[in-house]
Structures are given as C-alpha cells and as structure tokens.
Structure 1
Amino acid sequence: MSESTTVATTTTSAVATDLVAAGESVFKAFTGDEMSANAQKISDGITKLIDGAFPTIEGKVSFDLADVLGGSADVLNGVARLVNGAKTKTTGTVAAAS
C-alpha cells in the first residue's frame, strides 16, 4: 500500500513540476529574461501548492486531473515554442508561388 502512495506522489510531483516549468518557459519566451530570485521563490511555492493540493482536488473531480494538468503543460510549452518561433528570423528565402 505504501508503494502505491509513493508512485502517486512521484506522479503528482512530476505533474506539478512540469506545469510550473511550462509556465516559466512561457514567461521567458515573452520577456526574454530569466525569472528573478523573488519570482523563482513564487514559482517554487506554486509548485509546492499544486503538489500538496493535488491529491485532495483529484479526489473531488470526476476526470483525470493529472492528464488535464499534463495537457495544460503541453499547451504552455506549445505557446512558448510559438512565441520563440515568431521572434526568430529565418535567413532562408520563401519560394514564390507558381
């Protein structure tokens, strides 16, 4: 029984860490700057909050919260990639339409 608790905690931590890291990547994509020490402390606190509240919230919802949060992290990573791509000027030429 304690083994399944360990697995759930590991999964929860991974979900929280991935989601917050994705948010940080969006911040960096938009600003071009690293987070300040104070912002990093807030980010770490949010990670701990999500990690601590996850089991309680998951028990009260009728859907797979881990998948929803994981999908949210994927979306945030996609936004960061989109913003970085929009900021990067390509050196190639665009072929003319015929």
Structure 2
Amino acid sequence: MASTTVPSPRAPGRRWPLAEKRRIVERTLRASASIQAIAQEQGIHPTSLSHWRTLYRAGKLDMPPTSLVRDAMARATFLPVSIAPAKPLENAVSCRKARYA
C-alpha cells in the first residue's frame, strides 16, 4: 500500500536568533530608518518587525535595550494639546428624515 503525504498549507516560519532580531531592530532605531524598507531587505513582514521592536523596548530580546533606545526614550515627551470650544453652525441644514404620521 502506498503512503500519501499531504503538504502543509504553509511552510514553517523562519526562526530568527535573538541576537539577529536585536541587530535588525537596532537598525530601525536610527533617525532615517524605514521599518518597511528594512523589513523588505530582511525578508520579514513589517508587522513582525514592529512586534520585535516592542519586545526590544520591553527588554525581552535577551538583553536590555541599548543606550540608543534609552536615549531615545529619555528624549520622548508629550506635547501640550488644547481643544478649542465648538463654534455654532451658522447655515446648518438638518439631514434628519422627516416623520409623517
């Protein structure tokens, strides 16, 4: 009797060593870096690379973030925001459907 093998619907994902993930993520931290371009160069989906960046910032890629990340995080600040009061509409037209009894 012949045996039949059924191909897997998708190939198994590539396993990246933590040191390699760290190296790729650190390239994305440079000022002119493009996550999209770096991901494409490395054959990684941009979403995966963004996830690695999150892990990196949390110190979960084997080592704590480098001084490059610590410096970037130290410079990050919130910008002040104010919300202006709403202005009354002068020539507003109602778009509600009229109800007839």
TM over 0.5: no
More helix by share: 1
Q: Of the two, which has the highest radius of gyration?
A: 2
Structure scoring higher RCO (CA < 8 A, sep ≥ 6) equals 1
